Structure 1
Amino acid sequence: MSNEFNMRICGEQDADDGYQIVTKMGCKLIFGEIPGDDLAAFCAAKGRKNWLLDAHLAKRIGATIVCGPADGLKQLNEANLPLSDERQAEVSRAQSNAKIPAAVVEWIRHGRRGLSSEALCKHFFGEPIDAEKHHPSDPADLNRCLMFLDAAFGTRTPVQFDSVRSMGPYWDAYVDHWDELVSLFENETKGAKDWQKAPETYNLMMKIQDGVRQQEKVRDRNNPQQRG
C-alpha cells in the first residue's frame, strides 16, 4: 500500500484538493498548497503537539512543509531523498563549474542553507544564482554561515573573507567583528544542548546591527536628499 495520500479537513484521506501528504519515517511531508483550514486541522491532530518543522529539508526536496518528531527528522535528513528541480539545477550548474570545489557542490546539495549562508556562497562561487546579500540575523544564521565556510575553505576565517565587505554595511560591520564573533559563538556553544539561544552571541550581533542602523540614521539626517 502506498504511503502517499491526500488530506481533507478533519482527517487524512483520499481527496483531490491540490496537495499531497507523504508519510516517511514517522514524519509528514506536504507537497502543494494546503488551505489554512486544512493546515489548522492537520496541526491540531492528536500526537503532533511536540512535532518540529524543518524548513531547510522542505526547501531541499521541494515540499511545502516537512514536520515530525526530532528523531524522525534526523533520519529524513540523513536519507537520500530526491532533490527538488530547483535544487538539482543548482547542483548541476555547480558541478559544471570547475572553479567550485566538490565540498561546496555537496553543501549546495545537502547543506543546512539559510539566506545569509547562501549569500556567502554566491559571493565566493556564484551559486545559488538567485541568492541576495542577506546578512546573519541571529546565532542560527551565523552557525549556517560558519558551516558553509568550514565546507568551502576548511576555516571560519578564510583570507578571502575581507571581500565580503562589498555585500553591504551589515556585512562590512560583521567583518570588523568577525574574529570576536566566531570566538564568542564557539566558546558559548561548546557542549551546549540548545546552542541556538547563545545569548551572548545574540547580544553582540544585535549590537553590531544596531550600530549599522544608527550610522544609517546619521547618514540620512546629513543627506536628506538621498532618502528613498
Structure 2
Amino acid sequence: MSTRKPAPESAPSYRIAQREGCTILYGHMPLGAWLRLLRGASDMHVLHADVARMLGATAVIGPADGLARLRAQETAAAMGRVRAQLGRAARRLDPEAVRWLAAGEQGLSSLALFTLLTGVRPRHYGGSNLDLPRDAQELRRCRLLLEQVPSLQRGLLRLARRVSDPELVTWAALAEAWPDLCRQMDHEWPWWRDQPGRAPGVDAMLECFRQVETDRAVLQSTRMGALSWPMPYPEPLVPPRHGASHWLG
C-alpha cells in the first residue's frame, strides 16, 4: 500500500473581486474557468478593457451602469498612477489629457493620435504612427479624445498643414478631411457618443486613407530596402501647457 501523499494543489494564479455588480479578474485564469465565467454573465454585461486598465486588472465584466460607477470612483486614483508612470513628461499635459490617459476610451488609432499631437507616448501603447483609424468605431474614439481634451484640437489643425511631411502625409490628409468625416458620421450615426451603431460611408472614406498609407509604405520600403518599425514620431503638434517644463529629449 502506497504511503505517498498527493501533491498539494498549486494556489490559483488569479483572484476575482466583485464591485458595483461587476466581476473583476486579477491574474491569469485558466481558459476553461474563463469560459465558464463568461457563460455565467448576463447578456447585458459588457467586457470593458478601459475599466480593466484603470483598475490594473486582467478583465472587468459587468452592466453598463456598474462600469460607469467604477470608472467614476477610480478616475482620480488612475490619474495619479498615470502621472507617476509618466514622470516629468506628465508636466507637458493638461489635466484633461491626463484624465483621458487614465479613464478615456482608447484604441490603437486614438493612442497614435494622442502621441502624435502631444509627443507623449502612453506606457501601454506599443504601436506606431501608422495606426490610422480603420472604421467608424475607431474614429469615434479619436473624436472623443478631441472632445475630452480640447487643447489638442489646435494640434489637429497644424497636422492638416503637414501634407508635405512624408512621415505624416496620411495623418495630415485625414486631419484635413476631418470636418467631412465628422459630418458623414453625424449623418449616419447621430448617437455615436453613447449608443452602438454603424457608419459604412465613414468606413469607406477611412479605407481610402489606409490604402494611401499602404501604398506609401510600400514605396518607402522599395526605396530604403526596409522599413523601421515602429516609425518615430515627429515633434509634437501641441505646445506644452503654460508653466510646464521644457520639452524632453
Tell me, yes or no, if the aligned pair for 1:26 and 1:68 is still in contact at 8 Å: yes
Aligned to 1:136: 133
What's 2:246 paired with?
A: none
Q: Which residue of 65, 85, 89 maps to 1:71? A: 65
Corresponding letter in the other structure for 1:109: A
Provide structure 1 residue ranges, at least 5 long, that are not aligned to the other structure.
1-14
Unaligned runs of 5+ in 2: 1-9, 228-249
Which residue number corresponds to residue 55 of structure 2? 61
Query: Bigger relative contact order, structure 1 or 2, given CA contacts below 8 A and separation 6+?
Result: 2
Deviation at 1:113, TM superposition (A): 2.3
The code of the aligned residue for 2:201 comes to E
CA distance in 1: counterparts of 2:205 and 2:12, whole angstroms: 47
* Structural RMSD (CA): 3.3
Distance 1:199 1:118 in 2: 23
1:37 and 2:36 aligned: no
Q: SS state of the match for residue 72, structure 1?
A: helix
Match of 1:160 in 2: 158
SS of equivalent to 1:79? helix
SS at match of 2:15: strand
Q: Percent identity?
A: 22
Instruction: Figure out how many residues of one structure are paired with residues of the other and give that number.
Output: 209
Moved more, 34-43 or 114-123: 114-123
TM-score, with structure 2 as normaliser = 0.68
Cα deviation, 1:95-147, whole Å, max 9, x if unaligned, reads 4x1x4222222222222222222222222323234443222222222122122
TM-score (norm 1): 0.74
**Preserved CA contact (<8 Å) 2:55 2:74:** no
Q: Which residue of 2 aligns with 1:21?
A: 16
| Counterpart code for 1:80 | E
Q: How much has 1:153 moved relative to structure 2?
A: 2.9
Are 2:136 and 2:199, in contact at CA under 8 Å, matched by a contact in 1? Answer: yes
Q: Which residue of 2 aligns with 1:190?
A: 190
